[in-house]
C-alpha cells in the first residue's frame, strides 16, 4: 500500500533529533547551506526519516566517524545503498568500498604511485601545461572558467599522467558524473545518469584493461605483476583513478575560481603573493567541499555521540556542513586564503582520505599560481550555473572576464 507517512524515529530513540529534509532534492543540492545549519543545530546525530538513515553534520562527529573505520564501514558501500541488502550497480571499488585488511593492500599501491616523491616528478610538466593554458585563455579575455580552465586543465595533465591514449577522453567527465550520482537515492539525477552511462562505462573499462606503457596505469599493472595486488585487480584499481581523479579536481578548481572571482580582496592577496596559490585552493576545497557527502554502514550496534546506532544502519556524513561548522571554524562562510585549514574534511579523513589529494593540490597550486602571475583581475561576467549531482558540488558554467597583468612575472 502506498503511504505518504513519514517514518517515525527508530525504536528506542524517542529523543533522537529528526529532520524531514531531502538531502538529495534539486533545491537542497542547489543551496545546501541553510539545511546544513539546521542539521548541525538539530543535534550531534540526526535521524533523516525520508530515507531511514542517520546523519552527522557537525565537524566533530563527521571527523570522528571518518576516523573510525572499524565501526563505520565502507565495505557495504559509501552511498545510500547497503550492499549487504542490495546488489551494487557496479563491481565495488577495491579501495573506496572496502575495509581492512583488503583495503590496506590496494590502498598502499595507489598511495605509493601518488606519493610526494611522485608529485615532485610531475610538477614541472603541470606548471608548463598551466602556463600554456592560461596564455590561451588570457588572449580571449572573457571565458567560461568551467570548461576553459577548471575542466581543461585537469584534462590536459591527468590523462597523460595516467598514461592513456588521446582517443575518447570526452568520456572521462561523464563517467565520473555517473559514479558520483549513483551514490545517491533512486532520484531523477541517479536515473538519468545511469540511463546514459553505458558508453562511458564501456570506454573506461577498455582503458583499464589496456596495459599502458607509462604513467599511473602502467605502475598499477606493474604492481599486479609483482603480486602487490592480484592480476585481475589492476583494471579495477585503475578505474578508481577515472572515477575520482578528474571530476573532483574540476569541481575544486571551479570552486577556487568562483571564490576568487567573487572576492577581489582575496584575489589581490593571491596576486601579491602567488605562493599562497596552494592555500587558496585548499580553502576553496574547505568552503565549497566538492565532495559533499559520503555514507558509512554499521555492522554492529554503535554507541556514538550519545546515541545508539543499530547494526546495518546507513550513516550519512555531511562533509560540506562539517567544513562550515561554526563550532570549528571562525567566520565559516568566508573565503580566507590565509586561513589555517588543517583538519577540514573536504578530502575526507582517516584510512579512506582521498588518495589523490596531493595531485589535486598540485593541479590547484599550478593553475592558481600561474593565473596569479599572469592575470591582473578576474571578475564575474555573468551568472554562474550549478551542475547538480547527488554527491558533488560543482558548476556547469562560470563566465569570467580576465585582464592581463601589466608586468606579468611569468
Residue of 251, 245, 110 whose CA lies nearest to 169: 245
H-run or E-run covering 154: helix 152-162
188 binds other proteins (CB under 8 A): no
262 binds other proteins (CB under 8 A): no
Nearer to other proteins, 115 or 231 (CB): 115
Nearer to other proteins, 107 or 171 (CB): 107
What's the chain's length in residues? 410
Of these, 58, 200, 314, 344, which contacts other proteins (CB under 8 A)?
344
226 binds other proteins (CB under 8 A): no
Footprint (CB under 8 A) of other proteins, residues 114-143: 115-120
Of these, 30, 124, 128, 353, which contacts other proteins (CB under 8 A)?
353
Helices (H), 168-246: 172-181, 188-195, 198-209, 215-226, 234-244
Which span sits near other proteins by CB under 8 A: 157-165, 177-185, 303-311, 349-357? Answer: 349-357
Rg (CA), the chain: 21
For 393, phi then psi, to 5°, come to: -100, 115
The least CB distance from residue 114 to other proteins, in Å, is 9
357 binds other proteins (CB under 8 A): yes
105 binds other proteins (CB under 8 A): no
The least CB distance from residue 100 to other proteins, in Å, is 14
Instruction: Tell me the number of residues near other proteins by CB under 8 A.
Output: 23
Of these, 36, 200, 296, 361, which contacts other proteins (CB under 8 A)?
361
Which span sits near other proteins by CB under 8 A: 50-58, 94-102, 345-353, 385-393? Answer: 345-353
Nearer to other proteins, 215 or 350 (CB): 350
Q: How many CA atoms lie within 13 A of 20 on its CB side?
A: 6
Of these, 61, 282, 283, 363, which contacts other proteins (CB under 8 A)?
282
Q: Are 352 and 66 in contact (CB under 8 A)?
A: yes
60 binds other proteins (CB under 8 A): no
For 98, phi then psi, to 5°, come to: -135, 155
Interatomic CA distance for residues 215 and 95, integer angstroms: 20
The least CB distance from residue 344 to other proteins, in Å, is 7
Which span sits near other proteins by CB under 8 A: 165-173, 180-188, 309-317, 353-361? Answer: 353-361
Residues 6+ apart with CB under 8 A from 335: 259, 262, 263, 266, 283, 284, 287
Of these, 343, 376, 382, 385, which contacts other proteins (CB under 8 A)?
343
Residue of 65, 57, 45 whose CA lies nearest to 352: 65
Residues 6+ apart with CB under 8 A from 204: 171, 172, 175, 239, 242
Contact flags string 363-392 toward other proteins, x per CB under 8 A:
--x---------------------------
340 binds other proteins (CB under 8 A): yes
Residue of 121, 389, 155, 353 whose CA lies nearest to 253: 155
Q: Are 131 and 370 in contact (CB under 8 A)?
A: yes
Residue of 162, 360, 118 whose CA lies nearest to 368: 360
The least CB distance from residue 342 to other proteins, in Å, is 4
Distance of CA 303 to the CA centre of its chain: 28
Nearer to other proteins, 144 or 365 (CB): 365
8 binds other proteins (CB under 8 A): no
278 binds other proteins (CB under 8 A): yes
Q: Which residue has the cell 599501491?
A: 109
Q: How many CA atoms lie within 13 A of 372 on its CB side?
A: 27
Grid coordinates standing for 231?
A: 592480476
Of these, 37, 358, 405, 408, which contacts other proteins (CB under 8 A)?
358
Which span sits near other proteins by CB under 8 A: 166-174, 179-187, 207-215, 352-360? Answer: 352-360
Write out the residues near other proteins by the rule CB under 8 A: 111-112, 115-120, 278, 282, 340, 342-344, 347, 349-350, 353, 355, 357-358, 361, 365
Amino acid at each position: 500500500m502506498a503511504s505518504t507517512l513519514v517514518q517515525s524515529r527508530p525504536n528506542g530513540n524517542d529523543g533522537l533529533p529528526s529532520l524531514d529534509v531531502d538531502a538529495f532534492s534539486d533545491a537542497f543540492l542547489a543551496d545546501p547551506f541553510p539545511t546544513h545549519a539546521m542539521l548541525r543545530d538539530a543535534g550531534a546525530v540526526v535521524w533523516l526519516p525520508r530515507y531511514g538513515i542517520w546523519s552527522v553534520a557537525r565537524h566533530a562527529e563527521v571527523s570522528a566517524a571518518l576516523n573510525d573505520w572499524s565501526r563505520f564501514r565502507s565495505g557495504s558501500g559509501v552511498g545510500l545503498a547497503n550492499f549487504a541488502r542490495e546488489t551494487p550497480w557496479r563491481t565495488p571499488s577495491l579501495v573506496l568500498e572496502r575495509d581492512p585488511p583488503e583495503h590496506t593492500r590496494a590502498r598502499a599501491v595507489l598511495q605509493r604511485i601518488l606519493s610526494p616523491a611522485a608529485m615532485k616528478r610531475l610538477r614541472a610538466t603541470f606548471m608548463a601545461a598551466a602556463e600554456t593554458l592560461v596564455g590561451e585563455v588570457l588572449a580571449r579575455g572573457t571565458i567560461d572558467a568551467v570548461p576553459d580552465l577548471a575542466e581543461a586543465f585537469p584534462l590536459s595533465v591527468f590523462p597523460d599522467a595516467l598514461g592513456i591514449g588521446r582517443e575518447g577522453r570526452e568520456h572521462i567527465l561523464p563517467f565520473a558524473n555517473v559514479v558520483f550520482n549513483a551514490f545517491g537515492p533512486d532520484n531523477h539525477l541517479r536515473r538519468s545518469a545511469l540511463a546514459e552511462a553505458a558508453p562511458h562505462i564501456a570506454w573506461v573499462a577498455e582503458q583499464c584493461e589496456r596495459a599502458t606503457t607509462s604513467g599511473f596505469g602502467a605502475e598499477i599493472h606493474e604492481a599486479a605483476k609483482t603480486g602487490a595486488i592480484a592480476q585481475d585487480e589492476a583494471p579495477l584499481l585503475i578505474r578508481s583513478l577515472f572515477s575520482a581523479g578528474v571530476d573532483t579536481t574540476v569541481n575544486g578548481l571551479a570552486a577556487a575560481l568562483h571564490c576568487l572571482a567573487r572576492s577581489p580582496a582575496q584575489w589581490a592577496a593571491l596576486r601579491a603573493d602567488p605562493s599562497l596559490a596552494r592555500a587558496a585552493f585548499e580553502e576553496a576545497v574547505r568552503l565549497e567541499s566538492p565532495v559533499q557527502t559520503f555514507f558509512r554502514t554499521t555492522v554492529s550496534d554503535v554507541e556514538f555521540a550519545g546515541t545508539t546506532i543499530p547494526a546495518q544502519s546507513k550513516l550519512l556524513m555531511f562533509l560540506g556542513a562539517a567544513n562550515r561548522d561554526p563550532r570549528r571554524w571562525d567566520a565559516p562562510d568566508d573565503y580566507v586564503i590565509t586561513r589555517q585549514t588543517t583538519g577540514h574534511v573536504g578530502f575526507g579523513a582517516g584510512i579512506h582520505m582521498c588518495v589523490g589529494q596531493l595531485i589535486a593540490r598540485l593541479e590547484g597550486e599550478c593553475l592558481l599560481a600561474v593565473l596569479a602571475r599572469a592575470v591582473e583581475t578576474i571578475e564575474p561576467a555573468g551568472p554562474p550555473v550549478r551542475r547538480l549531482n547527488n554527491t558533488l558540488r560543482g558548476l556547469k558554467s562560470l563566465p569570467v572576464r580576465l585582464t592581463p597583468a601589466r608586468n606579468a612575472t611569468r
